[in-house]
A and B are shown apart, each in its own frame.
Chain A
Amino acid sequence: MSDIATNGLRYVTPNGGTGLTLVPRTDEKQTLKDFKSDQEVRWCPGCGDYAILAAVQGFLPELGLRRENIVFVSGIGCSSRFPYYLNTYGFHSIHGRAPAIATGLAASRPDLSVWVITGDGDALSIGGNHLIHALRRNVNLNILLFNNRIYGLTKGQYSPTSEVGKITKSTPMGSLDRPFNPISLALGAEASFVARTLDSDRKHLQSVLREAAAHRGASLVEIYQNCNIFNDGAFDQMKDPALRDDITLRLEHGLPIVSASKAVRRAANGGIEVVDRASVAEDEILVHDAHNPDPSVAFALSRLDEPAFEHVPLGIFRSVDRPAYDTLMAEQLKEAEGTRGPGVLGDLLHGGDTWRVG
């Protein structure tokens, strides 16, 4: 316990790393198998969650982190079963609360790589409040939002990302409420890292995870995920070889924002618009700046997939540097200790007006 005086945590992980060193690394070679737990995976055959699991298991070894310093925290939903299938530390919590639980963990243990697994209902209905606050605080979390635009686990009610008019068991005449766009919501909450990817595109998914993991602070990654039981084909246009290259607007920092046939440019009304790629000069096309401190262009990009999925931006909308919550918290502890020295219990109790009897 030699770190008591220096880091204000009085907490040393059993492997000797202190609470203020960042996540410890390993030199041991890791493979996908190291991250598979012994639990049987229980999603419906064909569910998009399988692809995401395989992509994550395949990606984690490249981080080179000690497995014991990785934690997956989830809420409730089909997607939230995820932690059971990974051989890391895991906490399958309650509906909507994973960002709050993970906030306590990440804020008090900067030596951990903390991942939140959540669904569209989990993150945006019951847990909406926790999500926006974790994002605005910039807690050092990687939040993977599995968006299948439906409640899977409760057997197919519409969700806060379902399109208006969705016919489900709870909305036989069609749903009435406008959906959230998770990217717009996250940008509105001042998230410092916001991205979107697709369950079936392993390469893209892993490239986004790589950036999310490297980002210090809260990263929100929306993953379009097919629920083949209750909302099959929700993202089929994006997977259809005949359509996908035209629909998908790739967001890559420093490159023009285009699909095979479309391009994004500044519109006369001050916003942005999608036009026929052949109709614009190359230098008219908007070049993506993920690091722009002003989120308004990223927000405009997030609105492009409305209303009918004719074109969908995929990639990192925004990635800006902002101090992470745990860093700021630890700095305050250090500052308090630095100016007045570490706390001494006896002095605390004897502080204030005391008097002696007898």
Chain B
Amino acid sequence: MTKQVQQLDRVIIRFAGDSGDGMQLTGDRFTAETAEFGNDVSTLPNFPAEIRAPAGTLPGVSSFQLHFADHDILTPGDAPNVLVAMNPAALKANLGDLPRGADMIVNTDEFTKRNLQKVGYAASPVDDGSLAEWRVHAVPLTSLTVKALEGFDISKKDAERAKNMFALGLLSWLYHRPTEATVKFLQGKFAKKPDIARANIAAFQAGWNYGETTESFSVSYEIKPASLTPGVYRNISGNQALAYGLIAASVQSELPLFLGSYPITPASDILHELSKHKRFGIRTFQAEDEIAGVGAALGAAFGGALGVTTTSGPGVALKAETVGLAVTTELPLIVVDVQRAGPSTGMPTKTEQTDLLMALYGRNGESPVPVIAPATPSDCFAAALEAARIAVKYRTPVMLLSDGYLANGSEPWRLPEIDDLPDLRVEFTTQPNGDDGETYLPFKRDPRTLARPWAVPGTPGLEHRIGGIEKADGSGNISYDPDNHDLMVRLRQGKIDGIARDIPALEVDDPDRDARVLVLGWGSTYGPIAAAVRRVRRAGGKVAQAHLRHLNPLPANTGEVLRSYDKVLLPEINLGQLALLLRARFLVDIISYNRVRGLPFKAEELAGVIQDVIDSE
């Protein structure tokens, strides 16, 4: 049977199943194959906070969406073209996102009476005609897998478990993916259980062969490689890129990295990743709580280490007092907040941008800290380096605001040349800096940066005491002098404000320089906003785009940029936190667009919002 091959420019696939069905792994492998093939790709895992919600129920559904194309893409895609549903719950949970006419591959073996009942289906939607508006491929994935593995020396359960690899094989055939890497991957993953390895590989190959021979798939698809900027690429998630950025910062600053952290979703993977790289001299300390995590990092920074703490919003709340101590003792510290839906425990595995005001103002006293937000998963690498640069140069805690979407999402990353990475070396103070040539003044500042000297214990002659009580300018002695306090408050603020001279100007993308509407964003909304801007422009709309990486201080030209457009639209996954700041600071009538659903924006949705603003001109 010869099969038709159709060319596509992009595809969005969503794998959905029970938490125990291995959907994340399936998605990861398809992503790796796709990246290797040379498409541009962007991914969005979506999993429940419960480790094992009851099997077959809606809360137990885990999914993985990926978008790949023959051109550069900016988001994991709005709505899937293909849904792989491993059970009725997965179908029900995802059907609402599936546009009419889209394909779905359904594992009919799991559509038993009991499983259907669990999610409230009276009859199987595959049979009752309710899916008539979609192209349904009913495939008995489980039994086909078990059949393919007859004769293997494994249990029936293990055979059934390999059904995700059967599905992966089928999808790999459908989209002409290369398969060698997955075979190798499975050999490595199950190196200690060769029978299981062989079975999974056989299931994977059986899935591929099934695609080739069955009549339910008459067409397969080709998506040509994308023409990306030349270089060496790897696929990377935000958390991994952030961890690598911290390691790079340690190497580039020649300061040993000390991570103090307490596990919390979605930040834990940074702790896990850094714990693997002890041969870089990295000390990872799993503390008794978030307060101890940041405390230990600050203690290490006092001793001359690159002190880092990683957490999510609830942890930032606990760390606030210690961050204030870092502000006033003027020690370098990197505080990573992988934001998640709040308040309180909120929705741990869902994304949000709701910690901006806490990062900026969530401490007692005048307590300014620089705030930096990466824009894409791979950008977490550069953002971590930038956070370290500022922390070390200005002797200040820096807040790095990632979020759940960046943390778990992934994209191809063009690897930087090591020689191009910034030089972050610092000089510890080793000599007295007082006018008499003998005394050490721990709060005598560099007149340019306003940074204080950093003399670490072990340095003879520079013994000194720091702490949370207000210090006299210069000497660092305890001081309750009113004017000194006023001065120190202003100096600490001035130091952070002055960083504006040391960061890039806000760039505006306005190709024909004739747009009257600017759409502004910060952090992880970059992809959806940029994709929306493309759509609007393709439809003939004029819109400019700018994206803030530095939230504090803001780039020096921010006000000028905002004022040079008739309208400024600011989409945020919060209730308008940055808008509040910009309105107060620049008296610009920002138009906010806010959705707080725990999910990233969709490009289509934003394109509509932008168009509306343009039309209202």
Residue numbers of A with Cβ under 8 A of B are: 1, 8-11, 13-15, 17, 19, 37, 39, 66-71, 73-74, 76, 83-84, 87-94, 97, 100-109, 111-112, 129-130, 133, 329, 332-333, 335-337, 340-343, 345-346, 348-350, 352-358
B233 within 8 A of A: yes
User: In the complex the two chains form, is B258's CB within 8 Å of A104's CB?
Assistant: yes
Main secondary structure of the interface of B (DSSP, over half): mixed
Question: What are 10 A-B pairs with beta-carbon distances under 8 A?
Answer: A100-B292, A100-B296, A101-B299, A103-B292, A133-B287, A329-B285, A346-B418, A353-B32, A353-B234, A358-B229
Q: How far is the CA of A345 from the CA of B295 in the complex (A)?
A: 28
Which of B233, B260, B281, B478 touches A84 (beta carbons < 8 Å)? B478
Shortest Cβ gap from B310 to chain A (Å): 14
- The residue in chain A whose Cβ has the minimal distance to the Cβ of B260 is A104
User: In the complex the two chains form, is B279's CB within 8 Å of A17's CB?
Assistant: no
B438 within 8 A of A: no
Shortest Cβ gap from A19 to chain B (Å): 8
B residues less than 8 Å from A111 (CB atoms): 458
Main secondary structure of the interface of A (DSSP, over half): mixed
Q: How far is the CA of A111 from the CA of B416 in the complex (A)?
A: 36
A residues less than 8 Å from B255 (CB atoms): 10-11
A345 with B32, Cβ < 8 A, contacts A91-B299, A354-B415 known: no
User: In the complex the two chains form, is B38's CB within 8 Å of A357's CB?
Assistant: yes
User: In the complex the two chains form, is A10's CB within 8 Å of B325's CB?
Assistant: no
- The residue in chain B whose Cβ has the minimal distance to the Cβ of A329 is B283
User: In the complex the two chains form, is B459's CB within 8 Å of A355's CB?
Assistant: no
A11 with B279, Cβ < 8 A, contacts A112-B458, A130-B292 known: no
Shortest Cβ gap from B317 to chain A (Å): 15
A residues less than 8 Å from B206 (CB atoms): none
User: In the complex the two chains form, is B458's CB within 8 Å of A333's CB?
Assistant: no
User: In the complex the two chains form, is B244's CB within 8 Å of A349's CB?
Assistant: yes
B residues less than 8 Å from A335 (CB atoms): 278
A residues less than 8 Å from B229 (CB atoms): 357-358
Which B438-474 residues have a C-beta within 8 angstroms of A?
Answer: 456-469
- The residue in chain B whose Cβ has the minimal distance to the Cβ of A354 is B234
Q: How far is the CA of A107 from the CA of B286 in the complex (A)?
A: 12
B residues less than 8 Å from A68 (CB atoms): 457-463
B residues less than 8 Å from A102 (CB atoms): 299
- The residue in chain B whose Cβ has the minimal distance to the Cβ of A96 is B291
Which B275-317 residues have a C-beta within 8 angstroms of A?
Answer: 277-283, 285, 287-289, 291-292, 295-305, 307
User: In the complex the two chains form, is B465's CB within 8 Å of A89's CB?
Assistant: yes
B residues less than 8 Å from A336 (CB atoms): 277-279
A residues less than 8 Å from B283 (CB atoms): 107-108, 329, 333
B1 within 8 A of A: no
User: In the complex the two chains form, is A104's CB within 8 Å of B295's CB?
Assistant: yes
User: In the complex the two chains form, is B428's CB within 8 Å of A10's CB?
Assistant: no
B248 within 8 A of A: yes
Q: How far is the CA of A348 from the CA of B421 in the complex (A)?
A: 14
User: In the complex the two chains form, is A90's CB within 8 Å of B466's CB?
Assistant: yes
User: In the complex the two chains form, is A11's CB within 8 Å of B305's CB?
Assistant: yes
B residues less than 8 Å from A19 (CB atoms): 256
Residue of B235, B288, B300, B305 ringed by the most chain A CB atoms within 10 A? B288
Q: How far is the CA of A347 from the CA of B430 in the complex (A)?
A: 34
User: In the complex the two chains form, is B36's CB within 8 Å of A89's CB?
Assistant: no
Shortest Cβ gap from B16 to chain A (Å): 25
Shortest Cβ gap from A331 to chain B (Å): 10
- The residue in chain A whose Cβ has the minimal distance to the Cβ of B295 is A100
Shortest Cβ gap from B66 to chain A (Å): 15
Shortest Cβ gap from A99 to chain B (Å): 8
B268 within 8 A of A: no
User: In the complex the two chains form, is B466's CB within 8 Å of A92's CB?
Assistant: yes
Which of A133, A354, A358 touches B288 (beta carbons < 8 Å)? A133
User: In the complex the two chains form, is B297's CB within 8 Å of A104's CB?
Assistant: yes
Shortest Cβ gap from B362 to chain A (Å): 16
Residue of A8, A112, A346, A353 ringed by the most chain B CB atoms within 10 A? A353
Q: How far is the CA of A45 from the CA of B297 in the complex (A)?
A: 37
User: In the complex the two chains form, is B299's CB within 8 Å of A337's CB?
Assistant: no
- The residue in chain B whose Cβ has the minimal distance to the Cβ of A335 is B278
User: In the complex the two chains form, is B295's CB within 8 Å of A11's CB?
Assistant: no
User: In the complex the two chains form, is B254's CB within 8 Å of A84's CB?
Assistant: no
Q: How far is the CA of A97 from the CA of B230 in the complex (A)?
A: 50
B96 within 8 A of A: no
User: In the complex the two chains form, is B228's CB within 8 Å of A350's CB?
Assistant: no
Which B410-439 residues have a C-beta within 8 angstroms of A?
Answer: 414-416, 418, 428, 430
B residues less than 8 Å from A10 (CB atoms): 254-256, 281
Which B322-345 residues have a C-beta within 8 angstroms of A?
Answer: 322, 325, 329
B residues less than 8 Å from A332 (CB atoms): 278
Shortest Cβ gap from B32 to chain A (Å): 6
- The residue in chain A whose Cβ has the minimal distance to the Cβ of B461 is A68
B residues less than 8 Å from A353 (CB atoms): 32, 35-36, 181, 234-235
- The residue in chain B whose Cβ has the minimal distance to the Cβ of A89 is B457
Those 6 A-B pairs whose CB atoms lie nearest each other, nearest first: A358-B230, A92-B467, A104-B296, A104-B299, A100-B295, A343-B280
- The residue in chain A whose Cβ has the minimal distance to the Cβ of B181 is A353
Shortest Cβ gap from A36 to chain B (Å): 12
B321 within 8 A of A: yes
B536 within 8 A of A: no
A residues less than 8 Å from B232 (CB atoms): 350, 354-357
User: In the complex the two chains form, is B466's CB within 8 Å of A109's CB?
Assistant: no
User: In the complex the two chains form, is A17's CB within 8 Å of B458's CB?
Assistant: yes
User: In the complex the two chains form, is B303's CB within 8 Å of A333's CB?
Assistant: no
Shortest Cβ gap from B239 to chain A (Å): 14
Shortest Cβ gap from B123 to chain A (Å): 44
Q: How far is the CA of A210 from the CA of B537 in the complex (A)?
A: 76
Q: How far is the CA of A39 from the CA of B195 in the complex (A)?
A: 73
B79 within 8 A of A: no
Q: How far is the CA of A100 from the CA of B260 in the complex (A)?
A: 10
A residues less than 8 Å from B457 (CB atoms): 68-71, 89, 105, 109, 112
